[in-house]
């Protein structure tokens, strides 16, 4: 969505950080986040002061009252060395003490300026100034931040991977969250699921007359939302948790850049003893850490699976945190589908017997490249009643190449997933049958139960064997001899010519 000029400026910013020894993309993005936050804080404070002067009912006290030098618009004009020292020794301590913006400042207590040189700070500040990141063009601001996040090209600790944007979009399109839903991600990472859910709701609540497009794409001002719904959506309508403080700060800034004014992102170990398992959410969208483990002494006593594997614990946690009728889309490693341990079987039994497990969508093993080549699937279920039939889909192409470059290609099953999910699952048309070219099929719960609740697509996918008729060996030998004779004849003629 970004034009070449903006991309060039962002690349220049990233290269500046690399050249000064900040090679870790997470560290670079975090530092950039701080600088963006300081810019937005100054701008929003000025807007609120102006509004308070014009609207008598609006009461507001400037965050910078008595400390005008702490404004970015002031210190950005300082000489390089003076700016560097001032930002490190005055501005950072100041934003850590803010109370008005506890949703962000509360997570800055461990933040520090790690930019090593004054010249680097000046370069970064100037580039950000040229990007024109403001509230008025939050769609562009979000794309800028997404482009920065694409720099995260290696696996994080505990099996975390950044979920590709088009996979998140597919998931959100299917679950179809609405303005009344209380939506959560229990391992939020960069908050991609929450942001896409937010944008989906904006789109669903924008009239045709309010819809507009420009050089940066299509915009959805959500004119059909009243002020109460709008305020709720930008605060407690979307909730995220993460146990990595760096990721919390990045997720907060990512939300801000996408127009979520007061994001509800919390630093919390959702598998730990301090996290409540009480039902709370209508929708849970997530891609929990794969193949991690947690110390037995730290596990919440509400868990019943008897395992330390995080991919299994998160699944039980999702079930617990959903209200009755709540729905979930979650990405899991293939091992969850067929693992033979008691905990694996117990989890799958829970899903089949206590939820309506609607679908299992097998994803290509390369979908997380360049991070890792790991086989995964999407589970879709509603916390209600029990499963009757499970809809399986073998997604073999996602619109991108199989190599690490992941270049766009035409081969893409995602539109077919969306169309057939709507027809077969949402509309509950159980009488239609797939053709031999379709990538989907249904399996009765009883058949799955007979197979130890195995949910791997290969267990039930019918393979059509096509009989191949081979030529009689004697005929083949005769053909070979004929060819050899022709070759020999040709060699003899060539020899006569020499």
**pLDDT one digit per residue (tens) for the chain, 498 residues:** 456 777 777 777 777 777 777 777 777 777 877 887 788 778 778 877 887 888 776 777 888 888 889 999 999 999 999 999 999 999 888 877 765 444 555 566 667 788 888 988 888 888 777 766 554 444 455 566 666 666 554 434 444 456 778 888 899 999 999 999 999 999 998 888 998 999 999 999 999 888 877 655 677 888 899 888 988 887 779 999 998 887 887 788 778 767 776 788 888 999 999 999 999 999 999 998 876 788 888 899 999 999 999 999 999 999 999 999 999 999 999 999 999 999 999 999 999 999 999 999 999 887 776 555 678 999 999 998 889 999 999 999 888 887 767 778 899 999 999 999 988 887 666 567 888 889 999 999 999 999 999 999 999 987 665 566 777 888 888 888 888 888 888 888 887 887
- Given this model, what pLDDT does residue 207 score? 92
Cα separation of the two ends of the chain:
68
- Given this model, what pLDDT does residue 350 score? 96
| Rounded to 5°, angle at Cα 141 from 138 and 144 | 155
Domain boundaries, the chain: 4-147, 159-459
Question: Containing H/E element for 28?
Answer: helix 25-54
Is the Cα dihedral 100, 104, 109, 115 positive or negative? negative
CA–CA separation, 113 and 483 (whole Å): 77
- Given this model, what pLDDT does residue 328 score? 95
- CB burial of 98-118 (b: ≥16 within 10 Å; e: otherwise) equals eeebebbbebbeebeeebeeb
User: 159-459: what fold?
Assistant: Rossmann fold (3.40.50)
- Given this model, what pLDDT does residue 100 score? 46
- Given this model, what pLDDT does residue 153 score? 46
| Spatial contact of 320 and 279, defined as CB atoms under 8 Å apart | yes
CA–CA separation, 185 and 175 (whole Å): 14
CA–CA separation, 284 and 241 (whole Å): 12
- Given this model, what pLDDT does residue 231 score? 82
- Given this model, what pLDDT does residue 28 score? 79
- Given this model, what pLDDT does residue 446 score? 95
- Given this model, what pLDDT does residue 155 score? 37
- Given this model, what pLDDT does residue 9 score? 75
| Spatial contact of 153 and 285, defined as CB atoms under 8 Å apart | no
- Given this model, what pLDDT does residue 286 score? 93
CA–CA separation, 57 and 62 (whole Å): 16
| Spatial contact of 280 and 241, defined as CB atoms under 8 Å apart | no
- Given this model, what pLDDT does residue 320 score? 97
- Given this model, what pLDDT does residue 470 score? 72
Contacts of 326 (CB under 8 A, 6+ apart): 279, 281, 282, 283, 284, 382, 383
């Amino acid at each position: 969505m970004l034009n070449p000029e903006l991309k060039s400026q962002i690349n220049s910013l990233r290269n500046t950080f690399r050249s000064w020894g900040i090679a870790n993309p997470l560290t670079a993005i975090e530092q950039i986040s701080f600088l963006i936050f300081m810019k937005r804080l100054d701008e929003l404070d000025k807007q609120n002061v102006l509004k308070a002067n014009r609207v008598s009912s609006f009461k507001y006290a400037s965050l910078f009252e008595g400390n005008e030098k702490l404004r970015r618009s002031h210190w950005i004009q300082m000489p390089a060395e003076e700016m560097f020292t001032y930002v490190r020794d005055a501005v950072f301590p100041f934003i850590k003490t803010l109370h008005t913006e506890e949703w962000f400042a509360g997570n800055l207590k461990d933040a520090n300026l790690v930019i090593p040189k004054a010249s680097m700070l000046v370069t970064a500040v100037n580039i950000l100034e040229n990007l024109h990141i403001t509230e008025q063009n939050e769609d562009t601001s979000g794309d800028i931040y997404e482009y920065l996040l694409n720099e995260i090209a290696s696996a994080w600790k505990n099996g975390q991977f950044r979920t590709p944007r088009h996979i998140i979009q597919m998931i959100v399109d299917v679950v179809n969250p609405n303005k009344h839903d209380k939506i959560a991600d229990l391992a939020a990472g960069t908050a991609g699921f929450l942001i896409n859910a937010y944008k989906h709701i904006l789109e669903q609540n924008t009239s045709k007359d309010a819809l507009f497009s420009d050089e940066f794409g299509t915009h959805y001002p959500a004119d059909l939302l009243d002020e109460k719904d709008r305020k709720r959506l930008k605060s407690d309508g979307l909730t995220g948790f993460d146990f990595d403080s760096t990721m919390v700060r990045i997720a907060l800034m990512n939300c801000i850049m996408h127009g979520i004014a007061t994001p509800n992102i919390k630093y919390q170990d959702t598998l730990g003893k301090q996290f409540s398992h009480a039902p709370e959410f209508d929708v849970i969208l997530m891609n929990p850490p794969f193949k991690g483990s947690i110390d037995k002494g730290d596990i919440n006593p509400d868990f019943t699976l008897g395992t330390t594997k995080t991919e299994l614990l998160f699944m039980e946690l999702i079930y617990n945190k959903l209200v009755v009728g709540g729905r979930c889309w979650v990405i899991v490693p293939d091992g969850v589908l067929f693992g033979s341990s008691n905990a694996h079987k117990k989890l799958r039994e829970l899903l089949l017997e206590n939820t309506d497990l609607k679908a299992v969508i097998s994803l290509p093993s390369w979908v997380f490249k360049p991070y890792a080549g790991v086989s995964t699937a999407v589970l879709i279920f509603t916390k209600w009643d029990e499963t009757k039939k499970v809809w399986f889909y073998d997604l073999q192409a996602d619109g991108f190449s199989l190599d690490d470059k992941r270049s766009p290609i035409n081969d893409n099953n995602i539109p077919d997933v969306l169309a057939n999910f709507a027809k077969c699952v949402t509309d509950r048309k159980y009488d239609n049958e797939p053709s031999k070219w379709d990538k989907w099929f249904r399996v009765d719960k009883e058949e799955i139960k007979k197979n130890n609740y195995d949910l791997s697509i290969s267990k039930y996918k019918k393979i059509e064997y096509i009989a191949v008729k081979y030529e009689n060996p004697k005929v083949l030998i005769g053909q070979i001899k004929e060819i050899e004779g022709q070759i020999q004849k040709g060699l003899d003629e060539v020899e006569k010519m020499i």
